[in-house]
Each structure stands twice: as structure tokens, then as C-alpha cells.
Structure 1
Amino acid sequence: MSQETRFDSRLFELIPHRPPMLLINEVLDVTETSSASRTYVDEESPFFEAEKGVPAWIGLEYMGQTAALIAGHQLALGKVTPHLGFLLGTRSFKTHCDYFAPGKYTVRCEEKALVGDGLATFDCFIENEPKDGSDVQCLATASLSVFRRPV
């Protein structure tokens, strides 16, 4: 898959990340308080390890970039001023796998709290997208704390 078709063009409108550190591939949904993205895990994915996939801890960045879609959408609507988002930390990061095996994954984020203009928290989930008709499984969850600094 070429670079041009590997990434949904809306990503470039909503978040500042660019390859090789753009880790999500498609915008599935975005509102003022929630977002969903799709991530492809394959040999072209950053951090991919042969015979394994992508380490599960990279899921934190999948979540962070998906949460950033919300801020980008809010900015496009004129609801916030331009700012940088810094991941301050995470609570309750849990994974049910050591690696994300090759395939597609859905990442979902919900803004849970906003303290002034500076601090936001998000509840995030990563689910597999099974090809064989089996059940969707939640593979990772976390609560992210993000500091928003005006630019």
C-alpha cells in the first residue's frame, strides 16, 4: 500500500502527526467529545516486529493520536484555540495481549473531563477487527491525561 493510500487524508487535517510517527491510518468517527480510528498492523507499521506484530505498549500512542482527533475537530469548529497536547500520564493501562498481531484495530476515545482549557482526560479502548467472523475483543484500555498548551 502506498503512502498516499495508507493514510486517510482527514488525518492530515486534524492532527499534526506525520509519517513515520503517524500510527493511526483512518478516521472512523469524530465529534466534539469522542473519536474512533483504525490502525493497520503489518510489515509497514512503525515498531513492527517480524513473527510478532507491534508491541502492545504502542497502543498508548494509538490512543493518544485518536484522542488528538477530538482536539483537531474542536479546532476546526472554532471551539478551541490552537494548542499542543502533551500526554502527562495514563491510569489503568491494561492489555490482553503482548503484541498486536497483523490485522486491523479500532481505537476509540471519549473525553471524560476537561479542567479549564488546560487539562483533559480520555477513556480509550482498542478492539480487534476479526476477519473470520469471530467476536470483537477489547485488547487494551486506558485513561489518558493530556495537558493542552496554547501555541
Structure 2
Amino acid sequence: MSVNEPWPIAELLPHAPPLRLLDRLLGHDATTARSEAVLGPDHPFARAGRVGAHVGLELMAQGCGAHVGALARARGEAVRLGFLLGSRDFRADPAGFAVGDRLEIVVAQAMNEAGMGVYDCRIERDGAVVATARLTLYQPEDPAAIATMMRGTP
């Protein structure tokens, strides 16, 4: 896994702060990526020094987005909006994460067809796996059409 491209995470994900939860892409190849998130005291989901385990799902989804974004940038294409459709087998310590944790989000593409992707994901802290899930995501060719449909306007 390597990073030859100097793209900041803001150029790989369509999220705006404070909901861009990843800090940087550490490496990627055609089917995998490794990203980093450092949980600071200003983290949008921090409460009493903790970040709930459920936030791990969004960290993993953004890890998938960083992977897809890096692949698009490498092809000279624009980064497109994607949607998390669901998760399977999410496992995490119910205590969640602590402010100050440095987390590595590792994603591996298991399937990619017609904009539909399935990723096996994990979150590591100090080399130990602290959360896992299999995510299903969708990246439409025309996200504006999806947004219009969701608003119920023709």
C-alpha cells in the first residue's frame, strides 16, 4: 500500500468540517486504504472525554470514501458523493473511543460493481483491532439526481 499522491483528506471526501472525521490518508492501492483519525477534545461527537462506538461506523464509511476519492483523483476525475446503505457484523467495544486516541481505519474492497461497493473495514488503536464491520455503499453516476429524488421534486 502506498501513497504517491499528495492529496489532503479535504480533497478526497466531500464532507465539510466538523463532520469530516478523518485527518489524513496514510496509504492506498487499487483495493485497500488506510486512513487516520485523531480524536481531539473538539471532536464533534466527544462527550465527557469519550466518543461513542457507533461513530466507528462513520469513520469506516469515510475511510471507504477516502479510498474511492483517491482512486478518482488518480484517474484525474472529480470526487463524487457516495452513500452508506448499510452495515453487517459491526463489532466494537461498547465503551467506544477516548479523546486522544489515534485510530487507523483500514478498508478493503470486497466487491465493486455499477457504483455499488462492499468493504471489509476495521479500526485499529495501537496496532490492536478495536472495531470491525462490513459496509455496503453506493456511489451514483449523478448524485444530483438522487438528491432531487430524495427531496421529492421532479
Show the 5 A alignment for 1:1-150.
10-51=8-49, 53-78=50-75, 83-102=80-99, 103-115=101-113, 117-129=114-126, 136-150=127-141
Change (3 A) 1:124 1:79: farther
Cα deviation digits, residues 114-134 of structure 1 (max 9, x gap): 12x2210000000112xxxxx
Q: Which amino acid aligns with 1:64?
A: A
Shift of 1:79: 8.1
Distance in 2 between the 1:93 and 1:42 partners? Answer: 24
Partner of 2:151 in structure 1? none
Q: What is the aligned-residue RMSD (CA, Å)?
A: 1.9
Deviations 1:67-115 (A, max 9, x none): 1111111211228775321101000000124220122111100111112
- Give the whole-Å Cα distance in 1 for the aligned partners of 2:34 and 2:60: 9
Q: Is the 8 A contact 2:69 2:80 kept in 1?
A: no
Distance 1:42 1:123 in 2: 26
For normalisation by structure 2, the TM-score amounts to: 0.80
Q: 1:126 to 1:82 in 2, by over 3 A?
A: closer
Runs of 4+ in 1 over 6 A off after TM superposition: none
Q: What is the identity percentage for the equivalent residue pairs of Structure 1 and Structure 2?
A: 29
SS at match of 1:21: coil
Question: In the aligned structure 2, how far is the partner of 1:80 from the partner of 1:9?
Answer: 13
2:111 and 2:119 in contact (8 A); partners too: yes
Query: Structure 1, unaligned stretches of length 5 or more?
Result: 1-7, 130-135
AA aligned opposite 1:54? V
Taking a change above 3 Å as real, the CA distance of residues 49 and 9 of structure 1, as seen in their structure-2 partners, is: farther
When the two structures are aligned, how many residues end up with a matched partner?
A: 136
CA contact (8 A) 2:14 2:79 kept: no
